[in-house]
Chain A
Amino acid sequence: MEGALRSIRAALIVMALVAAAAAGAGAFLARFAVRMPPALAELGGPLVLETAQGALALADLKGTVVLLYFGYAHCPDACPAALQTIAAVLDRLPASVRAHGLFVSVDPARDTPRMLARYARFYHPKILAGTISDLARLKQATARFRADFHYDTPDGKPDPQGDYAVDHTSFIYLISPQGRVVNLFDFREDPARIADEAMRWWVHDEMQGGKK
């Protein structure tokens, strides 16, 4: 099964190489090459969020490139930097590439779906946002992405009225149109590099018929 997939993929790559050679476009070749870090193979899984528009599953965004980030709205340094990076990536992608940002709050005690919708829109109209209000379910979902968080409160518990920071992993996950986590970026990464990688996966998945 996997071998068959691999040979189909190899055939597609060969076809693309031929097409590229025919077009004489070296740039096209470079754009097409994708490589998923093997360590990411197990990363990801179902993710269903509560948003201002109702339930949103990561699977609903299949057919688009997704830039996923776990953070919290009261985060003044890392999260705005990450969201600005994501916004810059979205602005760099050609209009033909369907793409979204997805901000998942790990602080549902303070971040309501309504507030998150306004928060995300402030950074970019294509950034969606939501959370999972049940803490146990939130932990389960984030663990699938190996995203980790900890509330800086005396008892380690969140507090709707509290004034606290949340330590959290701060990576930008690149999710291919076929719904796989295909790369992980530091939130300080150059948006041009992420946009380039997003383009490659868009082209790659489109050629494999991943686009709906």
Chain B
Amino acid sequence: MKRWFVMLAFVLAVQGEAAEAPLVAHDAWVRATPPGVDRSAGYLVLENPSDAPVRVAAAHCEGAARTMLHETVRLPDGREQMRHVQGWDVPPHGKLVLAPGGRHLMLMQLARPLREGDAITCTLLTDRGKLTVRFAVRR
């Protein structure tokens, strides 16, 4: 599983070296970290003005040892569960929304706390190139 992920990231990185993913990112923000917590979640809206779907397959955020694609889903018994997902498709002429309580980038083992007012850079790897996005740190 993990090897598959690393391989995919590598293939995408090589393949997407020159290519810039045909996506427009906006409203990108990450949650400021409370004291004693070394993880956070990132949110944004991705728009795809192109005629073909774009698949977001991985992400890497500055300062995080690992960044994962996660979804918080409600189980039938009422618990909320965070699930690791393989990727998200941004439909042609459509958008993908990452928002609290749903899809998010999960930033693990942050080297430094994220403080309100700062910003970090994340790189999204897609099947059609990569996309570098600035994420504002908010509460």
Q: Which residues of A contact B (CB under 8 A)?
A: 73-74, 76-78, 80-81, 84, 115, 118-119, 122-123, 146, 148-150, 163, 165, 167-171, 187-188
Given A73-B36, A80-B34, A123-B34: A148 and B79 within 8 A (CB)? yes
**Does B78 lie within 8 Å of A77, measured CB to CB?**
no
* Residue in A77, A123, A149, A165 whose beta carbon sits within 8 Å of that of B100 in the complex: A77
B interface bracket (residues with beta carbon within 8 Å of A): 20 to 34
Residues of B within 8 A of A171 (CB): 78
Q: Which of B37-45, B52-60, B118-126 contacts A (4 or more CB under 8 A)?
A: B37-45
**Does B101 lie within 8 Å of A74, measured CB to CB?**
no
Given A167-B75, A167-B80, A168-B80: A81 and B37 within 8 A (CB)? no
* Residue in B72, B77, B139 whose beta carbon sits within 8 Å of that of A77 in the complex: B72
Nearest chain B CB to A30 CB, angstrom units:
29
Residues of B within 8 A of A146 (CB): 78
**Does B34 lie within 8 Å of A188, measured CB to CB?**
no
Which 9 A-B pairs have CB atoms at the shortest separation, nearest pair first? A81-B100, A122-B34, A167-B81, A76-B41, A118-B35, A170-B80, A167-B79, A77-B41, A188-B101
- Whose C-beta in chain A lies nearest to the C-beta of B80? A170
**Does A76 lie within 8 Å of B31, measured CB to CB?**
yes
- 11 contacts across the A-B interface (CB closer than 8 A): A76-B31, A76-B41, A77-B72, A77-B101, A78-B72, A78-B101, A80-B31, A119-B35, A123-B34, A165-B82, A167-B79
Residues of A within 8 A of B36 (CB): 73, 115, 118-119
Q: How far is the CA of A106 from the CA of B108 in the complex (A)?
A: 20
Nearest chain B CB to A98 CB, angstrom units:
24
- Whose C-beta in chain A lies nearest to the C-beta of B106? A76
**Does A76 lie within 8 Å of B80, measured CB to CB?**
no
* Residue in B37, B77, B79, B100 whose beta carbon sits within 8 Å of that of A74 in the complex: B37
Q: How far is the CA of A176 from the CA of B66 in the complex (A)?
A: 42
**Does A77 lie within 8 Å of B79, measured CB to CB?**
no
Q: How far is the CA of A170 from the CA of B101 in the complex (A)?
A: 10
**Does B40 lie within 8 Å of A76, measured CB to CB?**
yes
> Does residue B90 face the partner (Cβ distance < 8 Å to A)?
no
Residues of A within 8 A of B34 (CB): 73, 80, 118-119, 122-123
Q: How far is the CA of A195 from the CA of B35 in the complex (A)?
A: 27
Residues of A within 8 A of B80 (CB): 78, 167-170, 187
Contacts beyond the supplied A78-B72, A84-B139: 18 A-B pairs with Cβ under 8 Å: A74-B39, A76-B31, A76-B39, A76-B104, A76-B106, A77-B82, A78-B82, A80-B41, A80-B100, A119-B34, A148-B77, A150-B79, A163-B108, A165-B81, A167-B75, A168-B79, A169-B79, A169-B80
> Does residue B107 face the partner (Cβ distance < 8 Å to A)?
yes
* Residue in A80, A122, A148, A188 whose beta carbon sits within 8 Å of that of B78 in the complex: A148
> Does residue B130 face the partner (Cβ distance < 8 Å to A)?
no
Nearest chain A CB to B132 CB, angstrom units:
22
Residues of B within 8 A of A78 (CB): 72, 80, 82, 100-101
Q: How far is the CA of A122 from the CA of B40 in the complex (A)?
A: 14
Q: How far is the CA of A73 from the CA of B70 in the complex (A)?
A: 18
Q: How far is the CA of A35 from the CA of B82 in the complex (A)?
A: 33
* Residue in B78, B82, B107 whose beta carbon sits within 8 Å of that of A169 in the complex: B78
In B1-48, the 8 Å CB interface with A consists of 31, 34-37, 39-41
